[in-house]
Amino acid sequence: MKRGPQRSANPEALLDAALELIDAGRLTMRALAAQVNLTPGALYTYFPDRAAIVTALTDRLLGAADLGLLEDTTRTRDERIVTFALNLREVLMRHPRAVPSILGAAFTGPVALRVGESLLGALPDPRAAYTVMVYVLGAIALEAAEIEEAGPDAVAPEAQRIAARRSAFVVDPEAFPRTHAAADVIAAYVSTEQFRWGLERVLSAL
């Protein structure tokens, strides 16, 4: 048995609180400690440093994606991949402020390995699999980057985000005629439809 006094928190609850703070806009050791009724110093009994918390968190987020969708052999290759990618996008975009960390680090973690292995099951050519990963993660990263800039508001629903993009998108029609003409489509870059459209095209070439 463990000797000292009982812990007043557990790593999982700590990660929950950390995720809330990231969603709110800023993860601070002091804020995190306050959220779980601890002193900043006590956090270092749970994780060696802040980076370890972020890593554990992003690994957990990535693990929330449903790998079963990728392995469902009753469906076609493209259906499986598209369905899984949509699920991954939905899961990650629930916490857009955590996405940069995921893209930056967690793809060395064990969870990322499992995702890669499953993807290779559906798409055996590793070059093709990487191309899909690049597209999916790139699209998610670009979408998440946009939300990052906004204030600490809640994540707006998709239709609302697109409408906001559309009304904020004003370009000089003389200098950027093509961009100006495409404004409606450009506003919808962050839509599920655009994500799916691009992914299906990419898959059709692999």
Query: Which residues are at the interface with its own copies (CB under 8 A)?
Result: 100, 103-105, 107, 113-114, 116-117, 120-121, 124, 126-128, 130-131, 133-135, 137-139, 141-142, 145, 148-149, 171, 175-179, 182, 185-186, 189, 194, 197-198, 201-202, 204-206
37: which residues sit within 8 A by CB, 6+ positions away?
A: 8, 9
What are the residue ranges of helices labelled H in the chain?
11-24, 29-35, 50-63, 68-71, 77-93, 99-104, 110-122, 126-149, 158-168, 177-181, 183-187, 192-204
Angle, alpha carbons 108-112-117 (nearest 5°)? 115
Phi, psi for 176 (deg, rounded to 5): -130, 65
Instruction: Give 42 or 128: the residue with its C-beta nearer to DNA.
Output: 42
CB of 162 to DNA, least distance (A): 31
- For residue 40, the partner it binds in DNA, its own copies, none, with Cβ less than 5 to 8 A by kind, is DNA
By the 8 A CB rule, do 200 and 77 touch?
no
To the nearest 10 degrees (0 to 180), the angle between helices 77-93 and 110-122 is 150
Any contact of residue 5 with DNA (CB under 7 A)? yes
Any contact of residue 165 with DNA (CB under 7 A)? no
- For residue 6, the partner it binds in DNA, its own copies, none, with Cβ less than 5 to 8 A by kind, is DNA
Any contact of residue 201 with DNA (CB under 7 A)? no
Instruction: Give 11 or 104: the residue with its C-beta nearer to its own copies.
Output: 104
Any contact of residue 2 with DNA (CB under 7 A)? yes
| Segment interacting with DNA (CB under 7 A) among 49-57, 94-102, 104-112, 129-137 | 49-57
- 72 class by beta-carbon count within 10 Å (0-12 exposed, 13-18 middle, 19+ buried): middle
Q: Which residues bind DNA (CB under 7 A)?
A: 1-9, 26-31, 33, 37-42, 44-46, 49-51
